[in-house]
Structure 1
Amino acid sequence: MSPDAHLREEPVSRAELLRGHFLHVVRDTVRLPSGREATREYVLHPGAVMVIGLLDDGRLIMERQYRHPMRSVIVEFPAGKLDAGEGSLACAQRELREETGYRAREWAFAGRLAPTIAYSDEIIDIWFARGLVQGERHLDEGEFLDVFAATPDEVQAWCRDGSIIDCKTLVGALWLQNVMSGAWSLDWSGAMPPGVAR
């Protein structure tokens, strides 16, 4: 028997609440460990990537983008959602190129994060990129963002003082800090590690 059996919920049925251009919201009925039933409403998400782009001079590629739900311009690492059938690395390469104009010679998969576990199944893959060469951006229709470079110290300071509040960027800054200190290592092969899907 699984050591988590006393915690697991078993799906019983699903109702679709919303299927929009971006959001797909469902309500699942689940059987609780007690045997009773409950409902869980959440967002289904195709998954996403975030790219920590390292310039040759040590600075990082960052973005400033207006985020309507927050009614604010947010400082972030470049990121975007997977297209249907798209692999994680291909998505990271596409998003970096489209949003910033940069292409990278080397890629390293760092890890994953689940930013909103209470109401979405979204998983974001964290990629590092280096050997960057700048080219032309190809933003989506209706996408407006500024691209700029910042030092790792500046990014850490913005995380500390609350200028950066984006979850994925905060996690990216943690990864960056540990990689730069030598505490965590990266494999610059550009491949997903064994056992990690996508």
Structure 2
Amino acid sequence: MSLTEETISSEPVYDGTLLHVRRDEVRLPDGATSVREWIKHPGASAVVAIDGEGRVVLVRQFRYPPRREFLEVPAGKFDRDGESPLDVAQRELEEETGLTAAAWTALGRTFPGIGYSSETIHLFLAESLSEGERGGDDDEFLEVVRLPFDEAVRRAESGEILDAKTSLALLLAAARRRDT
């Protein structure tokens, strides 16, 4: 039995700078109809960057919707036409931390809000780091934090790191490093 829902109609509810809210009427697998409200998102990339001393480079920043600070891996959304997930990861690592990396490994991707958003986050491991030029957005305030990689993984496993993309990225990076 197919579980696919077919779009009957779609209308914009809100078109913002980042988010575009849609309301779709869909035909369910049993033939009935329903409404799906969802957010169209451009997608993003996130980076687990590990320096030569075995520390992971995180950023601490305030996130407005939950009204608190979080430790996160450097990450950002697709901003330009034709950008690849790796392009975004490389740009965001340098903008947020001032670092570049010579070695990149794709860790996979995740859909953080499957019930309400099309957002996909591509996850990468970055190693062989060098100093680059820190940039960033004018409205983005963050602090670069370096933690021993094993400690950051422990914090993800214990639930101390609350950002889902960061926890998943750290756990995938730890598994990748164990396998090599």
Identity %: 41
Moved more, 140-149 or 153-162: 153-162
Which residue of structure 2 aligns with residue 68 of structure 1? 64
Which residue of structure 1 aligns with residue 8 of structure 2? 12
Secondary structure of 1:155's aligned partner: helix
Does 2:151 correspond to 1:154? yes
Distance 1:149 1:110 in 2: 21
Residue from 113, 120, 126 that aligns with 2:117 = 120
Distance 1:56 1:98 in 2: 20
Residue from 30, 34, 56 that aligns with 2:52 = 56
Which residue of structure 1 aligns with residue 133 of structure 2? 136
Distance 1:120 1:28 in 2: 13
Query: Which sections of structure 1, spanning at least 5 residues, go unmatched?
Result: 186-198
Shift of 1:108: 1.3
Deviations 1:159-181 (A, max 9, x none): 23432110101111210221122
Does 2:149 correspond to 1:179? no
Which residue of structure 1 aligns with residue 165 of structure 2? 168
Moved more, 130-139 or 92-101: 130-139
Secondary structure of 2:65's aligned partner: helix
Does 2:39 correspond to 1:39? no
Secondary structure of 1:70's aligned partner: coil
Shift of 1:135: 2.8
RMSD, aligned α-carbons: 1.2
TM-score by length of 2: 0.95
Runs of 4+ in 1 over 2 A off after TM superposition: 160-163
Residue from 101, 106, 111 that aligns with 1:104 = 101
Secondary structure of 2:151's aligned partner: helix
Moved more, 30-39 or 130-139: 130-139
Which residue of structure 2 aligns with residue 24 of structure 1? 20
Structure with the higher strand share, 1 or 2: 2
Shift of 1:32: 0.6
Aligned residues: 179
Deviations 1:81-105 (A, max 9, x none): 0113111111111101111000111
